[in-house]
Amino acid sequence: MVDEIPLSEPDITDLEVAMVERVLRSKRLSIGPVNEQFEKTVAARTGRGHAVSCSSGTAGLHMLMLAMGIGPGDEVVTTPFSFIASSNCILYVGAKPVFVDICPKSLNMDPQRVEDAITPRTKAILAVETFGNPAFMPDYRAIAARHEIRMIEDSCEGLGGKYRGKPVGSFGHAGVFGFYPNKQITTGEGGMIVTDDDRIADLCRSYRNQGRGVMGGVTGSWLAHDRLGYNYRLSEIQAALGVAQMRRLDEIVEQRQRVARLYMEQLLDLPDIILPTVDHDTFMSWFVFVVRLSDRFSQDERDRIIEGLHRHDVGAAPYFPCIHLQPFYRELGFKEGMFPVAESVSRRTLALPFFNRLTEKNIEFVVQTLSLMMSREGLKRG
């Protein structure tokens, strides 16, 4: 079933089509100049010395774990309120995710709790710009510096955003972007590592390309494999899509800000809706538009409101269920009650349709339908 007003929709123009077509006709479909161009553009945009394209945001996170030498016996401090990939990458390398609770306003990790969670086994802080919000990124970096550990910035939801004028992706020792179709820009599937660290960049270039040796950005012999690598490459076709989308990034971010502003205006008067809070220091590029129901609403009521929206052909989703409560994380010993803020927030969050071409009329319809579904639940409750 496809909703009339979907939750998200990629924004592909003639420019993307033309650039992809040019690659297809060039006959060079992988490892080529368009990847280099895409990397250069993202590096410049984030003010980083290196950008390494890869097959997904998840692959990028995995390679950073490897490049930073994180493995069995190591701990990585991270958030339970995120898309699951930000924590799975820690499990991939046999390390232990140490979750800390979030700040209820920004929905990012509470810096004091990050500090308190660090032990002699902590190798890194893996911070996520939740829904694109870069709040506390400099604080996490300062904590990492104090303890002489790494900070990884999972920027998969934040391309184009800024905090105090500094671009998202520039706060950690390394950052990762993801280009799945619901992100600010898409390559269908794809990701990009950004860093100023030459060694990390070379290692990631090696890991993504079957472990072939890389020195100073230059790949050695095709048949010499220095380490256990992967095929985490991005194709030239995907990179072409990325180059076109990057060219349009400012326009895309403007559109997203317009849609967010319209939602804010129209939802302002709706009681029992908690709007996203954005710090005055923050320039948001808006990954999704997630509101929270007031605590008069239970999780079941929230879920029925989502079903009601779908019945009216309006996309909606409960972003995010807590990672630590997913079945295979429970098997690792995590359970309800461990991160009360994250759990309470995630019971009442609701993502509304959000994409560049959403019209004012669409937004009015979404808000009216949401309002109707909420009052119905209220009436049932009596």
Q: Which of 139, 154, 301, 377 binds ligand PLP (CB under 6 A)?
A: 154
What angle do helix axes 299-311 and 360-381 make, rounded to 10 degrees?
Answer: 130
Size of the site for ligand PLP (CB under 6 A): 14
DSSP calls for 322-352: -GGGSHHHHTTT--TTSSHHHHHHHHHEEEE
DSSP calls for 99-152: E-PBPTTT-SB-HHHHHHH--TTEEEEEEE-GGG--TTHHHHHHHHHHTT-EEE
Q: Which of 183, 335, 361, 380 is catalytic?
A: 183
Closest separation in Å from C-beta 193 to ligand PLP: 12
**Which range, of 82-90, 230-238, 296-304, 342-350, touches ligand PLP by CB under 6 A?**
82-90
Closest separation in Å from C-beta 35 to ligand PLP: 16
Considering beta carbons, is residue 144 or 156 the nearer one to ligand PLP?
156
CA atoms 306, 351, 239, 19: torsion sign = positive
Name residues contacting ligand PLP, limited to 40-59 (CB under 6 A): 56-58
- Site string (106-145) toward ligand PLP, x via CB under 6 A: ----------------------x-----------------
Q: Which of 38, 81, 83, 319 binds ligand PLP (CB under 6 A)?
A: 83
| Residue showing the smallest CB distance to ligand PLP in the complex | 57
CA atoms 133, 35, 255, 57: torsion sign = negative
Closest separation in Å from C-beta 333 to ligand PLP: 23
- Site string (189-208) toward ligand PLP, x via CB under 6 A: --x-----------------
- Residue 180 touching ligand PLP (CB under 6 A): yes
CA–CA separation, 88 vs 61, rounded Å? Answer: 9
CA–CA separation, 132 vs 154, rounded Å? Answer: 10
Closest separation in Å from C-beta 22 to ligand PLP: 24
Closest separation in Å from C-beta 298 to ligand PLP: 26
Angle made by CA atoms 213, 233, 68, in degrees to the nearest 5: 55
Q: Which helix (H) or strand (E) holds 282?
A: strand 282-283
CA atoms 84, 87, 93, 97: torsion sign = negative
166 belongs to the catalytic site: no
Q: Which of 86, 209, 245, 346 binds ligand PLP (CB under 6 A)?
A: 86
Say which DSSP state 80 is in: S
- Residue 332 region by backbone torsions, left for phi larger than 0, else alpha for psi between -120 and 50, else beta: alpha
CB atoms within 10 A of CB 261: 11
Closest separation in Å from C-beta 245 to ligand PLP: 14
Considering beta carbons, is residue 160 or 191 the nearer one to ligand PLP?
191
Considering beta carbons, is residue 86 or 108 the nearer one to ligand PLP?
86
Q: Which of 161, 178, 229, 242 binds ligand PLP (CB under 6 A)?
A: 178
For the chain, counts of helices (H) and of strands (E): 13, 15
- Chain residues that interact with ligand PLP, rule: CB under 6 A: 56-58, 82-83, 85-86, 128, 154, 156-157, 178, 180, 191
Report the catalytic residues: 183
